[in-house]
Structure 1
Amino acid sequence: MNIENIIFDLGGVLIDWNPRYLYRKIFSSEEEMEHFLKHIATSEWNAEQDAGRSLKEGTEWLVQRFPPYKEAIEAYYGRWEEMLGGEIKATVNIFYRLKAMRTYRLYALTNWSAETFIIARQRFSFLQDFDGIVVSGEEKTRKPFLEIYQRLAQRFQILPERSLFIDDVPENIDGAQQAGFHTLLFISPEALEQELKAIGILKG
């Protein structure tokens, strides 16, 4: 495997993001919170904002469908920063070990609203150290659709067959494979380190 580029997902891999950090403050029980996140402010709804729909439009659309949850829905982006748990330090350490090797170009491909990614850029200094980042909300398309992987390759002139893509979502891994990338499904920083060693990218 002749790898020249390593592409990281961000949320769940390098950045700890979870809406439950916020909604445990809003709902009085886990059951209420899980119902809200499973049936109202769903991951599918959030994905539309990741794909370029404005936060205002997405919020108004959901409030119209579920008026009794207006306050909780508006908190999703109004208090979005409270969903950030910090960087996943062990994975960030792996990122900097790879960067120090000066062997690979390092990129990020993330499903993220363009409007909230501004906050992430301000909070997480390591984002400045990528060779390039593709943000779905800026592209108006998202993983696992083929187009966003192709844009990454074209924009930074990288060959998918010489690139390794790391993501914690199986569907996104499938999309990357269809685009011709080598892939690793992220389970934990410890597992990632072992897998990178096994394929000769990291040394022992």
Structure 2
Amino acid sequence: MTEIRHIVFDIGKVLVHYDPDLPFSRLIPDETERKRFFETICTHEWNIEQDRGRSWEEAESLLIAEHPDHEENIRNFRRHWHEMVPHAYDDSVELMEALIDKGHDVTMLTNWAKDTFTEARQRFPFLERPRGITVSGEIGMIKPDRGIYDHHASTFGLNPSETIFIDDSPKNVEGAKAAGWQAVLFTDAATLRRDLEQRGIEA
């Protein structure tokens, strides 16, 4: 196995908790109705376009035109976004910072809307620790599309074969491998630590 010289972290569900149910369990108390709302209105497919760079104003307008009776909760998705990311995973953050302190080259690659990531930077100071971050909403590309991995590698001078990517999404992990990177699926910090140690990386 090629020696790893670069470590790239995803952020959501790896370093920072994300769960839209947190505010919406209050806003739409009925579980069946809430599930239907996320499956048919504020869907993952709708939300990922904000990660690709679409503005919230456009995103809301499109949905409100289709579902005028749900205007309030459509707007609530952005309005209550801060409640969806209530905390970081301390053990994951500790591991990432230990890797940096040991001298490892650490960067981040995230699917995240431009404006909400600006807010996240203010709330989670550890996001400033790595050498740099590629934010999908800032460049108009999202994982697992090949282009975003190539862009990140080019921007930060990474040799793909010497790069390991850490993400909670199997599709994004496979996207990294297709781009020539090494990659591991994140489940928890303890498992990640073992995965890195098996590849000769110690924090």
TM-score range, shorter chain: over 0.9
> What is the match of residue 126 of structure 2?
126
After the TM superposition, which residues 84-95 of structure 1 pair with which residues of structure 2 at under 5 Å, given as runs? Answer: 84-95=85-96
Q: Counterpart in 2 of 1:161?
A: 161
- Whole-angstrom CA distance in 1 between matches of 2:75 and 2:51: 17
Q: CA RMSD, aligned part only?
A: 1.0
Q: Alpha-carbon deviation of 1:63?
A: 1.1
Separation in structure 2 between the aligned mates of residue 12 and residue 89 of structure 1, nearest angstrom: 12
The residue identity in structure 2 corresponding to 1:134 is T
1:86 match: secondary structure: coil
Structure 2 residue 31 is matched with structure 1 residue 30: yes
How many matched pairs? 202
Q: Could you say which residue in structure 2 is the equivalent of 1:69?
A: 70
* Alpha-carbon shift at residue 17 of structure 1 (Å): 1.1
Distance 2:26 2:176 in 1: 36
Q: CA deviation at 1:75?
A: 0.5
Instruction: Show CA shifts across 1:116-137 (max 9, x none).
Output: 1111000000011010100000
Q: Deviations over 1:42-101 (max 9, x none)?
A: 111000010010011011111111111111110111221111121011100110111111
Matched residue, 1:109: 109
The worse-fitting range, judged by mean Cα deviation, of 4-13 and 185-194 is 185-194
The AA in structure 1 aligned to 2:41 is I
Q: Distance in 2 between matches of 1:199 and 1:138?
A: 32
Contact 1:55 1:115 in 2 (8 A): no
Identity of aligned pairs, percent?
Answer: 37
Query: 1:108-166 deviations in whole A, cap 9, x for unaligned?
Result: 00000001111100000001101010000001110011111111011111101111000
The amino acid that maps onto 2:198 is A
Aligned-partner Cα distance in 1 for 2:60–2:190:
37
Shifted more, 189-198 versus 170-179: the winner is: 189-198
Q: Is the 8 A contact 2:5 2:162 kept in 1?
A: yes
Within-5 A mapping of 1:40-59: 40-59=41-60
* Alpha-carbon distance in 2 for matches of 1:2, 1:13: 23
Deviation, 1:187, is 1.1
Q: Which residue of 2 aligns with 1:10?
A: 11
Q: Which runs of 4+ in 1 moved over 3 A?
A: none
The residue type equivalent to 1:79 in the other structure is H
Contact 2:4 2:199 in 1 (8 A): no
Aligned AA for 1:169?
S
Letter in 1 for 2:149: Y
In 1, Cα distance between equivalents of 2:191 and 2:144: 23
Secondary structure of the residue aligned to 1:158 is: coil
Cα distance between partner residues in 2 of 1:3 and 1:187:
20
- AA in 2 matched with 1:38: E
Residue 29 of structure 1, CA deviation: 1.8
